[in-house]
Structure 1
C-alpha cells in the first residue's frame, strides 16, 4: 500500500472501529508546533481546598459529607444523568421515536490531594485507580439491569470539567451507547471474517511501522491512531486481546498504570500545562456474553492545537459535513515522541 501522498495532499482516513471518516488537510500547516508557544500561568492549587466538594471531609454539592478518604473514593453522583428508578416507556412513531433509559452514574476520586492530576500521581496511586475501575466495572456490570459501563474522565475547564480535583466518572446504563454500538458491530464483523480481533491486527501493523507509536511496554501500546480526529489524539491498547479491563492480570494492571501515567505526562509536557482532555475506556458490554470480538482500549481526545491557549474547534464544516484536521497523525506522533518523559514540573524543580 502506498502512503506517499498522505503528508502532502488532502485525503480522508477511516476510523476502522466506527466506520467514520476524517478529512486530513496536511498542506494547510505541515509543522503546527513552530512559532510562538503560549503558556498559561501555573495553576497553583492547595492539597486541600475547603471550598471543593470532592476534598476529604468537605460537604458535597448535594449536601452529603465526604469521608476522610486516603486513596480512591467512589460515590453515586448527586446529580446523575441516569437514574435506577426510571420507568419503562417508549414511542415507536416513525417521526417521533423515543425510549426510556435507566442506570447509575458514579464519581471516582482518584486521590485526596486536590493539587494532583494523573500524570503527577505516583505509579502505585495510578494502579489503585485502575483497580478501582476494575471493581466498578465488575460490580455494576453484574447487575441484570445494566448492559454497559462507561469509564471516562474530563480533565480541565476547557473540557467542561467544573472541579479541578483529580476525578473521573462512571456511567452505567441499560443499553450500549451509540458510539460503543458502532465499535461493537464493526469488531464483530472483523472477528467473524478473520477469527482475530481487529485491534490485534491493527497494533501489529502499527508496531511494525513504528511511526505513530509513542510508548510500548510488555503488555500495552500507546499511539496516535491513523484516523486520529483531535490534534494530539492518543490510544492505549493492550497487546493481548481482552474484552474488558477485568481480564487484566496483576502484571498487566501495573503495565497499564505505567503507560497511562507516561502518556499523560507526555501530553502535559507538550505545552507545559495541565493538558485538558476527555478520555474514555471502550470495552465489551456487560450482557453476560463472551464478546471475544471485543478488544478494549482507552482513547484521549485533547483539544489543544498550537499552544496552551489555542484549541481546535469543531465548527462549520466539521459540524455540518465531516470532521477535519490539518496536522497528520504522523506529525502529531513525531512531536509527542520528541518530548521529555519526565513531567515538566519535575524538570523545572531539578533546574532550580
Structure 2
C-alpha cells in the first residue's frame, strides 16, 4: 500500500491510498475555498450523561447534488471536486462540514471507489482489503492525537438511512470521549468478568458458534451471526474469531479473509428482499476499544451491520418505545433473519 498525504485548498488534509507503490499523486486543489467552519461544541446531558455535538454550520452541507456535481467524484473535465485527482482508488479527507473539529475531535470522509454508481459490495477483494488498510491506518493516526478517546469507522448506505451523497463512501469520527454505547458494553463486560471470570465478547461468540442457528457466515478467522436479541429487522455482527481490541491488532490471516467474508455478507444483504427491490439501505459500524483505557484489552472488536427495512417497501421506524425509552421492538425473529441470510447465499 502507498499512502500519499496532501492538503486541499482550504487547508484540510487529504490522503490517497493506492495498492501500487509506483502510483504518483500530484494533482493540486485549485478551488477558491474559504477556511472550513469548525464551530462545533460538546454539551453533556445532566440526566443521562450523554454527550451531544452542537454543529449548526452543518445546516449548509451539500444535500443530494445531481450526479454530475458530486463532490466525491474525481476532478474531471474542468469540474473540481473534493478529490483533485482525475481518478483514485481509496481516499480519506477531513470533512468540510464536520460534526466534530479541533478540540471536540475530528470527522473524516472515506471514498471507497471513484465509481459514482458502485457500492461497497461491488468492490473487488483487493479494493476491500485496501479500504481495511485505510481504516486501520486512520485508527492508528487518530489514536496518536491527545484529545481523541475513540475512533469510529462506519458507512451509511441509502437515502432511507439519511445519506445525502449517493457516492459510495463512509466516515470516520474521532471522539474526544468514550461513546455511550461503548461505555455500556464495557460495563457489561466488567460485570461479566466479575461474575464468571470470563470475557463477555468471547462468550457471546462461542455461544453463537455452538448454537449455529443464528450463524450466517463462518470462516477460519471470522464469524458473522444475527445476535440473540437483535434490535433491527436484519442485523448481523461480524467478529474475528481471535479477540482483539481494535483494527490495528488484527493479524495477517484475519486481514486476508476479511474481504471475502464481508463482501459476501453485503451481497446477501442486497438479496434479502428479492431482485425487484432497490438496494438494501444499511449502516455498517465498527466497534473499537477506547484508547488510554486500562481495560481496553477486555473489549472485542466487531462490526455491526443492520438495515432499517423490515420487509418489502416498509421501514422500521424508531417510534414511541425506541425513541422515547430506548426499548426496541423487533418484528423479525433473529432466527428467521439468519435463515433468510443463509438462503440468499451466492444467488
Question: With structure 2 as the length reference, what TM-score do the two structures score?
Answer: 0.75
Q: After TM superposition, give the deviation of residue 187 of structure 1 in Å.
A: 1.8
Give the count of matched residue pairs: 275
Shift, 1:326, TM fit: 2.0
Match for residue 185 of structure 1 among 166, 174, 187: 187
In the alignment, which of 308, 311, 321 is matched to residue 306 of structure 1?
311
Deviations 1:251-279 (A, max 9, x none): 21121222111110100011233211111
Query: Equivalent of 1:59, from 72, 77, 80?
Result: 80
Alignment partner, residue 284 of structure 1: 289
Is the 1:197–1:295 contact (alpha carbons within 8 Å) kept by the matching residues of 2?
Answer: no
CA distance in structure 1 between the aligned counterparts of 2:83 and 2:240, rounded to whole angstroms:
38
SS in 1 for 2:270: helix
Superposed CA deviations along residues 165-206 of structure 1, whole A, max 9, x for unmatched, are 111000102111111111122223323444432121111111
Cα pair distance change 1:72/1:326, threshold 3 Å: same
Measure, in 1, the Cα distance between the counterparts of 2:267 and 2:284: 14
Aligned twin of 1:29: none
Name 2:301's counterpart in structure 1: 296
Query: Which of 312, 316, 322 in structure 2 is aligned with 1:318?
Result: 322
Instruction: Write the distance in 1 (CA, Å) between the matches of 2:135 and 2:335.
Output: 31
CA drift at 1:67: 2.5
Superposition deviation, residue 340 in structure 1: 3.1
Aligned counterpart, 1:336 = 341
Counterpart for residue 205 of structure 1: 207
Give the alignment of 1:22-41 within 5 angstroms: none
C-alpha separation between the residues in 2 aligned to 1:207 and 1:125?
A: 29
Match of 1:235 among 226, 237, 256: 237
Residue of structure 1 in register with 2:52 after alignment:
none
* 1:1-352 matched pairs, under 5 angstroms: 49-57=67-75, 59-60=80-81, 64-84=82-102, 86=103, 102-271=104-273, 272=275, 273-287=278-292, 289=294, 291-307=296-312, 309-321=313-325, 322-342=327-347
Q: Give 5+ residue unaligned stretches, structure 1.
A: 1-47, 87-101, 343-352
Instruction: Give the drift of 1:68.
Output: 3.1
Cα offset for 1:289?
A: 4.1
TM-score w.r.t. the length of structure 1 is 0.74
Moved more, 71-80 or 49-58: 49-58
Could you say what secondary structure the match of 1:281 adopts? Answer: strand
Q: Is the 8 A contact 2:231 2:328 kept in 1?
A: yes
**Any idea what SS the aligned residue of 1:341 has?**
coil
State whether residues 196 and 293 of structure 1, in contact with CA within 8 Å, keep that contact through their aligned partners in structure 2: no
SS in 1 for 2:296: coil
Whole-Å separation in 2 of the counterparts to 1:65 and 1:283: 28
